[in-house]
């Protein structure tokens, strides 16, 4: 993979972090610094996570888990890493990768100790008390130098888009339905902003409106679901967007189509195309991936964890993304349009 980073901003690794060195371009004697990465999971590591971690230098990954099989997956440093508090104390102010959905205890412990917290599922609620500290990096993410970043640059320089369709689909072993919904919601909020209303429908079965009042009650019902969700978003001034997410697809694919007064942009993990309103090809940058598996989540994960580490997502942006997701999940349960702005106020109150 050629210089990809899974965030829109990259920062150099903290020089005070423990690190190991791996040889790159050995003939030239160059070295790449790999900060030691702590990995916490209370469930078996998915294969895409294992493949993404195996490319790291020996000794640069330390796994913590209550399960011995997980701690031994890549060679755990010690049995003490089976305890959450011991793990957090040992990895304080270091990058930590949390795999799967977390508990409230894990949220508090990991968020208070990690320098950067990589997450594979949208489990952190980002309530008011967390907004002041930016630490979370959702994975596998969008490469910093990839085609989606190129599209973001074009959109930032052009007039506001009028229409967006974004899709993220993958097999169930690549993550939850919520993980896929989060990816398209990130594109929505970054490119068009937060919609006024959302209406959603889902193929997930046996779901009922939650009776509890927790801010993330609706989305938690979708954590273990396999299926699809389609979301229609209405904005002021006639703008509109549609989102499709699925974890019941035969292969990994992410793509988006944006159109407006300056033409249309189509983008996926391999390339971006910009066409004028008269369908003239204005620009087609070179493909950002060298072969067919570059867009797989394992490759994206490996790139995101390579130095320099990506900067966390701005907390307010992430909070707006989660508000869109919660409103979409609630709409899928109620069959009625819901307001992300109202959900944002609920999330902010915690």
**Structural domain includes residue 35:** yes
Torsion of CA 289, 251, 9, 22, to 10 degrees: -70
Query: How far is the C-alpha of 19 from the C-alpha of 112, rounded, in Å?
Result: 21
Same domain, 88 and 166: no
Q: What 3-state class would DSSP assign to 158?
A: coil
Rg for the chain, CA atoms, rounded:
20
Residue 73 has a pLDDT of 80
**Structural domain ending residue among the three candidates 114, 130, 160:** 114
**Structural domain includes residue 135:** no
Query: How far is the C-alpha of 244 from the C-alpha of 19, rounded, in Å?
Result: 40
Q: Which helix (H) or strand (E) holds 304?
A: helix 297-304
Number of domains in the chain: 2
Same domain, 233 and 299: yes
**Structural domain ending residue among the three candidates 90, 114, 138:** 114
Residuewise pLDDT in 10s, the chain (350 residues): 334 444 433 222 333 333 333 333 333 333 346 678 999 999 999 999 999 998 888 788 889 998 888 888 876 544 457 889 889 988 888 999 999 998 888 888 898 899 999 999 997 665 444 444 678 999 998 877 788 988 998 898 887 899 999 999 999 999 999 999 999 999 999 999 999 999 999 997 656 666 666 767 788 888 888 999 999 999 988 899 999 999 999 899 999 999 998 889 999 988 899 888 888 887 776 655 534 454 588 988 988 898 888 888 898 899 999 999 999 999 999 999 999 999 999 888 76
How many CB atoms neighbour CB 54 within 10 A? 12
**Structural domain includes residue 275:** yes
**Domain range for residue 109?**
19-114
Question: Which CATH number is 277's domain given?
Answer: 3.30.360.10
Q: What is the DSSP letter of 314?
A: P
**Structural domain ending residue among the three candidates 89, 114, 139:** 114
**Structural domain includes residue 131:** no
Residue 291 has a pLDDT of 40
**Structural domain includes residue 278:** yes
């Amino acid at each position: 993979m050629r210089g990809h980073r899974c965030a829109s901003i990259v920062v150099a690794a903290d020089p005070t972090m423990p690190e190991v060195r791996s040889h790159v371009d050995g003939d030239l004697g160059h070295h790449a610094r790999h900060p030691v990465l702590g990995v916490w999971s209370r469930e078996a590591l998915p294969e895409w996570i294992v493949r993404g971690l195996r490319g790291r230098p020996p000794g640069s990954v330390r796994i913590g888990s209550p399960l011995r099989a997980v701690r031994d997956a890549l060679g755990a440093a010690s049995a003490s890493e089976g305890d959450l508090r011991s793990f957090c104390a040992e990895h304080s102010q270091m990058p930590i990768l949390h795999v799967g959905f977390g508990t409230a205890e894990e949220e508090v412990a990991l968020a208070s100790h990690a320098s950067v917290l990589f997450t594979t599922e949208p489990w952190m609620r980002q309530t008011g008390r967390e907004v002041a500290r930016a630490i979370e990096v959702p994975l596998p993410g969008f490469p910093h130098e990839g085609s989606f970043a190129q599209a973001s640059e074009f959109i930032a320089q052009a007039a506001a888009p009028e229409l967006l369709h974004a899709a993220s689909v993958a097999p169930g072993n690549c993550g939850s339905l919520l993980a896929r919904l989060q990816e398209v919601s990130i594109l929505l909020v970054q490119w068009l902003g937060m919609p006024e209303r959302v209406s959603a429908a889902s193929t997930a079965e046996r779901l009922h409106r939650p009776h509890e009042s927790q801010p993330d009650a609706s989305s938690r019902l979708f954590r273990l679901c396999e299926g699809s969700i389609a979301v229609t978003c209405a904005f002021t001034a006639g703008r509109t967007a549609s989102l499709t997410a699925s974890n019941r697809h035969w292969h990994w694919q992410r793509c988006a189509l944006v159109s407006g007064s300056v033409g249309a942009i189509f983008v996926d993990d391999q390339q971006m195309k910009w066409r004028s309103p008269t369908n003239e090809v204005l620009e087609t940058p070179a493909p950002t991936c060298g072969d067919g598996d570059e867009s797989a989540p394992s490759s994206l994960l490996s790139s995101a964890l390579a130095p320099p580490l990506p900067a966390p997502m701005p907390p307010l942006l992430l909070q707006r993304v989660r508000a869109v997701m919660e409103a979409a999940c609630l709409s899928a349960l109620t069959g009625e349009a819901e307001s992300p702005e109202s959900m944002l106020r609920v999330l902010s109150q915690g």
